[in-house]
Structure 1
Amino acid sequence: MEPILHVKNVAVIGAGPAGLAAIKYLKAENYFDRIVAFDQRDEVGGVWNYTGAVSESNQPDFTIPRTKPAGVVERPSTTISATGEEKRVFTSPIYDSLETNIPHTLMNYSDKKFPQDCPLFPPFAVVKQYLEEYASEIKEFLKLGTQIIEVQPIQEEGEKVTRWKVTYIDLATSIRSTEIFDAIVCASGHYSDPFIPHIPGISEFNDNHPNVISHSKYYRKPEEFANKRVIVIGHSASGIDISSQISAVAAHVIISEKEKPAAIHMETDSITYRPEISEFIHENRTVRFVDGHIESDIDSIIFCTGYQYSFPFLKGLNPPAITTGERTKYTYQQIFYFPQPTITFLTLPQRIIPFPVAEAQSAYIARVFSGRLTLPTFADMQAWEDGVVAEKGDGKFYHNLQFPQDAAYINMLHEISMSAEVIESRGLVNRGHGKIPPFWDEEARWTRQRFPMIKQAALNLGEERRNVRCLRDLGFDFETWKQEQQVEKEPSTPLALSKDDSTIHVRTEIMISDDAA
């Protein structure tokens, strides 16, 4: 494909972790006339903005079941604050005691570390403060309290390039405006639109027993489930944490999952495992499981079943990027909407470390939009996606980049970005190479491979885990591990990156100045 040379104005949709990274890499190109990041919230941080208790009944677009992504945005949703004053609140999945399940030494941006005195697995408030500090240098690019209503492709008469008409509403004044941008970066995330599967009887059950069925997005604290019989459906990160918290106060917790989770190493009087639910029966608040077992008098059912991909402001895309909500279609390298590659997406992949992935993707996008990198042909990008579909299917696993794939992905994007044209005359740092995206060395991959064990070791400490400041406090020391490998004179087993990691060499060696990270 020919270089993209017409992009001078870029709209970033979202000022959460991904959107902030996008601004920094776009800014670093010293090329664009205007960069604007829109966010419907009044503060940066995206989902890391805690919203307190918000009932599903206050969410007019929440349905049970919920198997299709949200429709076109018509008006901003609002809730009422605790003081009774109307306030723009966009529900976040952050709950009261949430802390990261990723060590901050792996989670952080490449150019900013977390405070030395914060816990290794920081609580959400620390992450929110971290993001506010990260955004302090780019506030002039932010347009907060502004909701994107629609993004439409347009083509002026006589022009060959597609531009984008962005319609948005100022939530403070309710004034609608329209602007034209040359390119779009969608950084609105995918932890907003809950997924609740259709199970026989679920609609009738919900009609007869409103507020019994919920989603992890609306969970806030275990005390709400004291002395109740609760079913938690799903046992990924949120399911594990929520079921563990609730079991301490509930009369009984049943974890429902297709296969018995390895994390349930023992069952007690207060917590048991059952397979999938096959039927909801509204009489006596009853559910039947696929093994035939029946449980009645259930007080609460929490679906920890994840979220759908949903970009309701992109209804003008043809072909549509979102159909079933299981994945985002036509996305080369999980980033570029290749039918019209001036629209891009950040952090679509699942099972990743989002901050460094957002950086790596943003570096690639910024270099393409500034003309320093070119994309493959449409046919090649289509062939790339076809290959992923052939390998992973056309559903929710398309975006799965579980380790070691995420490490290979970050390093691949690093190599691509560092191959961009060097333009010192533009004032780019690092001798014209520009802002350096993250690269995961052996220690980072070693940590990534072990972080489930690291998290479990922290949880085993109970409340004392909040005093853990580094991996060594939990008995994980990369340097000691390396030395043990050498002493034993056994070759260190390479940490696999991908089936084909022939393009992942050593890190591009560049003298990095203080302003380049």
Structure 2
Amino acid sequence: MTIEYPVEQKVPKAFPKNKGPPPNIEWPVATVDQVIQKTLKEAAEAKEDPFIFDKPIKRVAVIGAGAAGLPTAKSLKEHGIEVRIFERMEDVGGIWLYSEETDEKPRIPCDTYRTRQKPLDEEEKIVEATPEERLKKLKHAPPSACYPDLHNNTAAPLMMNYEDFPWPEGTSWYLPYHDIQTYFKNYANHFGLYDHMELSTSVEYVQRNDNNDDHLWTLTLRKSEYINDRTMIRYKTWTESFDAVAVASGAYNDPFLPNFSNLSEYNVNYPERIIHSKQYRHYQDYIGKNVLIVGGNISAIEIAQRLDGIADNVYMSMRGPFVSISNILNLARSGLSDNIIRKPNIRAFSDFQGQVNGSITFEDDTMVDSIDRVIFCTGYVNDLGFLGPLRAYGTSAEEAEEQETQGPLVITNGMRPVNTYRDIFAIRDPTLAFVGTPGHLTSVQFFYYQAQAVARVWAGLACLPSRPKMRHFVKTNMYPFPPFDMNLLGCILFSQQFVTWLNEHAKQQDRKKNVNVLKGVDPSLVELWDELKEQYKKRTTEILAKRSTIVPTKSYNHKL
């Protein structure tokens, strides 16, 4: 059965969005007390003029079982809402779930998107498994970007923990991918989330049922599994209906490649040379090669470090200056050795005369003609294709507001929905929510507070403001910290907004409901910046010394 697509449409020129304002713009930074006072005022206004849901929300679908989906499901469950979790991969953990297999190369150019127009028909079929299939895992998801020597780049016990599930005492700050994934497995086991989960199950289509008195949302789902001692494969497609949907499918699924001049022709002539960082796995594949890395953010930096001294030459091409407005990014870039050959942005995948002969020219009028591999570390499109015609591309909340009463329900800029209250609730219909795609930073800690907001609002333990007030908030709200700098202060201040709002509304509930008081991110963490810098440098040195020889060393047993 096939899914129909419309004519491909262009992604707006504004994508991918800029990382922040020019360096000469100063962004005001609030204090914790200022954030609390402002949020208390907003919470009071929401109570005075709340958004009223048409009916109670009793059954919710959570799409994704990664760092955002797991706390969302747990929070819904603890507040008495029936939850079903759908995860495409074979286990929890999202980007931290390793596969030796790699994703397919992205389309070149990938400046278009496709929208699913109708669901698959419901069906079940059983086919015989081939000898090759019997040796494989059945997958509905492309492999993640995880590679063998991937480590976290934030202090795990301080910044990659859920408030209700601390890391064991003495946990190292920086851990290999398998320990991070184990943390998520332990979380799912501890809170009984596997009992509510369908693994290896893709959400093919999300449909809004405007005329359905029972449930507002219907999901078309597809699963494959081995039966009869792996000799047969059962494919099943079915639908389930819900009162609300929480999208926690992650922002790192669909690789993005900019459409440089002559890139399409270069790819035709040299198809084996180009990959996206999501396909990167083993440094040994680059021994003796000349490698060009396109991009200058974290993934580009870490791959460049791993190939330094392995490849013959490592070039790094990036837009803008090497010194960034982001302190975190500057810290990461400071770990690049002088062996990395810095280049400006690419002008064309051709020589000076425009001939596509393997040469690559740069904006400083230089050319390199001996590149064996090009690794694009240029980010991702958050496509949300399963929303079908409910979503379309746009670049601003103002553009979204023009379509508030008609057209698509969700407007996305290619990275996140822009017509949402607090980066979560779809303003036109807050029974649709997004967790894990804020407009400023992505942190495991922060996902927990987003998840609590979703659960408490849908459980009636916290109020959203009315639609006009939500729209006004989107127009006038300013982050209390520089959103382009992914720092500790940002985590503290932004989580405080959620903690203040949710705790204030919880105070006014019936005490019999026993709503937990949220703590928020510890403000004292901001004092650890100097120590974090030193630990980060040591982490990088240790990883490079070991390269891909790292193996699991311990199993984490969480005791609460």
- The normalised TM-score by structure 1 is 0.79
What is the CA–CA distance in structure 2 between the aligned matches of 1:44 and 1:440, rounded to whole Å? 24
2:426 corresponds to which letter in structure 1?
Y
Question: In structure 2, which of residues 318, 322, 346 is the aligned counterpart of residue 260 of structure 1?
Answer: 322
Structure 1 residue 127 displacement after superposition: 0.8
User: Mean Cα displacement is larger for which, 451-460 or 372-381?
Assistant: 451-460
What is the CA–CA distance in structure 1 between the aligned matches of 2:102 and 2:245, rounded to whole Å? 31
Matched residue, 2:452: 363
What is the CA–CA distance in structure 2 between the aligned matches of 1:285 and 1:81, rounded to whole Å? 37
Cα displacement string for residues 481-513 of structure 1 (whole angstroms, at most 9, x for unaligned residues): xxxxxxxxxxxxxxxxxxxxxxxxxxxxxxxxx
Matched residue, 2:154: 102
Q: Unpaired runs of 5+ in structure 1?
A: 470-514
1:283 and 1:297, CA in 2 relative to 1: closer, same or farther beyond 3 A? farther
Matched residue, 2:504: 419
> 1:244-393 alignment to 2 at 5 Å?
244-258=305-319, 259-261=321-323, 262=330, 263-264=333-334, 268=338, 270-281=339-350, 283-317=356-390, 318-349=407-438, 352-387=441-476
Cα pair 1:352 1:403 within 8 Å, conserved: no
What is the CA–CA distance in structure 2 between the aligned matches of 1:95 and 1:121, rounded to whole Å? 15
Matched residue, 1:51: 99
| SS of residue in 2 equivalent to 1:444 | helix
Q: Unpaired runs of 5+ in structure 2?
A: 1-49, 121-130, 226-233, 324-329, 391-406, 554-558
Matched residue, 2:199: 144
Question: In structure 1, which of residues 195, 199, 217 is the aligned counterpart of residue 260 of structure 2?
Answer: 199
What is the CA–CA distance in structure 2 between the aligned matches of 1:156 and 1:400, rounded to whole Å? 45
> 1:433-444 alignment to 2 at 5 Å?
433-434=515-516, 436-444=517-525
> 1:350-499 alignment to 2 at 5 Å?
352-387=441-476, 403-422=488-507, 428=513, 432-434=514-516, 436-447=517-528, 451-461=532-542, 463=545
Cα pair 2:257 2:378 within 8 Å, conserved: yes
Matched residue, 1:184: 245
Cα displacement string for residues 130-156 of structure 1 (whole angstroms, at most 9, x for unaligned residues): 111110122211111211011111123
1:375 and 1:441, CA in 2 relative to 1: closer, same or farther beyond 3 A? same
What is the CA–CA distance in structure 2 between the aligned matches of 1:336 and 1:292, rounded to whole Å? 47
1:438 and 1:46, CA in 2 relative to 1: closer, same or farther beyond 3 A? farther
Matched residue, 1:133: 186
Cα pair 2:440 2:483 within 8 Å, conserved: no
What is the CA–CA distance in structure 2 between the aligned matches of 1:245 and 1:257, rounded to whole Å? 18
Cα displacement string for residues 91-125 of structure 1 (whole angstroms, at most 9, x for unaligned residues): 10101100100111221111222344653201000
Matched residue, 2:83: 35
Question: In structure 2, which of residues 136, 142, 164 is the aligned counterpart of residue 85 of structure 1?
Answer: 136
Matched residue, 1:239: 300
1:332 and 1:380, CA in 2 relative to 1: closer, same or farther beyond 3 A? same
Cα displacement string for residues 148-171 of structure 1 (whole angstroms, at most 9, x for unaligned residues): 0111111236x6x98111111122
2:165 corresponds to which letter in structure 1?
K
Number of residue equivalences: 450
Cα pair 2:116 2:389 within 8 Å, conserved: no
Cα displacement string for residues 240-288 of structure 1 (whole angstroms, at most 9, x for unaligned residues): 11001112210101111122255257764x4210110011116431111
| SS of residue in 1 equivalent to 2:172 | coil
What is the CA–CA distance in structure 2 between the aligned matches of 1:162 and 1:84, rounded to whole Å? 40
What is the CA–CA distance in structure 2 between the aligned matches of 1:427 and 1:28, rounded to whole Å? 14
Cα pair 1:101 1:455 within 8 Å, conserved: yes
Matched residue, 2:285: 224
| SS of residue in 1 equivalent to 2:349 | strand
> 1:109-128 alignment to 2 at 5 Å?
109-116=162-169, 118-128=171-181
1:182 and 1:401, CA in 2 relative to 1: closer, same or farther beyond 3 A? farther
Q: Which has the higher contact order (CA 8 A, sep 6+)?
A: 2
1:427 and 1:147, CA in 2 relative to 1: closer, same or farther beyond 3 A? farther
Matched residue, 2:3: none
What is the CA–CA distance in structure 2 between the aligned matches of 1:84 and 1:279, rounded to whole Å? 43
- The normalised TM-score by structure 2 is 0.73
1:345 corresponds to which letter in structure 2?
F
What is the CA–CA distance in structure 2 between the aligned matches of 1:390 and 1:109, rounded to whole Å? 23
What is the CA–CA distance in structure 2 between the aligned matches of 1:242 and 1:185, rounded to whole Å? 33
1:83 and 1:288, CA in 2 relative to 1: closer, same or farther beyond 3 A? farther
Structure 1 residue 345 displacement after superposition: 0.4
What is the CA–CA distance in structure 2 between the aligned matches of 1:128 and 1:272, rounded to whole Å? 34
1:146 corresponds to which letter in structure 2?
T
1:382 and 1:140, CA in 2 relative to 1: closer, same or farther beyond 3 A? same
What is the CA–CA distance in structure 2 between the aligned matches of 1:404 and 1:232, rounded to whole Å? 31
Cα displacement string for residues 396-427 of structure 1 (whole angstroms, at most 9, x for unaligned residues): x9898655333211111011111224588686
What is the CA–CA distance in structure 2 between the aligned matches of 1:305 and 1:368, rounded to whole Å? 36
Matched residue, 1:500: none
What is the CA–CA distance in structure 2 between the aligned matches of 1:98 and 1:129, rounded to whole Å? 14
Matched residue, 1:63: 107
Give percent identity, aligned residues only.
Answer: 26
User: Mean Cα displacement is larger for which, 81-90 or 407-416?
Assistant: 81-90
What is the CA–CA distance in structure 2 between the aligned matches of 1:82 and 1:379, rounded to whole Å? 54
Structure 1 residue 209 displacement after superposition: 0.5
Cα pair 1:349 1:399 within 8 Å, conserved: no
Cα pair 1:348 1:399 within 8 Å, conserved: no
Structure 1 residue 327 displacement after superposition: 3.2
What is the CA–CA distance in structure 2 between the aligned matches of 1:147 and 1:300, rounded to whole Å? 33
1:455 and 1:390, CA in 2 relative to 1: closer, same or farther beyond 3 A? closer
1:111 corresponds to which letter in structure 2?
D
Structure 1 residue 84 displacement after superposition: 5.2
Cα pair 1:13 1:188 within 8 Å, conserved: yes
What is the CA–CA distance in structure 1 between the aligned matches of 2:476 and 2:171, rounded to whole Å? 43
1:71 and 1:335, CA in 2 relative to 1: closer, same or farther beyond 3 A? same
| SS of residue in 2 equivalent to 1:230 | strand
Structure 1 residue 344 displacement after superposition: 0.3
What is the CA–CA distance in structure 1 between the aligned matches of 2:113 and 2:302, rounded to whole Å? 26
What is the CA–CA distance in structure 2 between the aligned matches of 1:29 and 1:102, rounded to whole Å? 30
| SS of residue in 1 equivalent to 2:68 | helix
| SS of residue in 1 equivalent to 2:505 | coil
Cα pair 2:291 2:371 within 8 Å, conserved: yes
What is the CA–CA distance in structure 1 between the aligned matches of 2:247 and 2:149, rounded to whole Å? 29
C-alpha RMSD of the superposition: 3.3
What is the CA–CA distance in structure 1 between the aligned matches of 2:207 and 2:534, rounded to whole Å? 46
1:438 and 1:341, CA in 2 relative to 1: closer, same or farther beyond 3 A? same
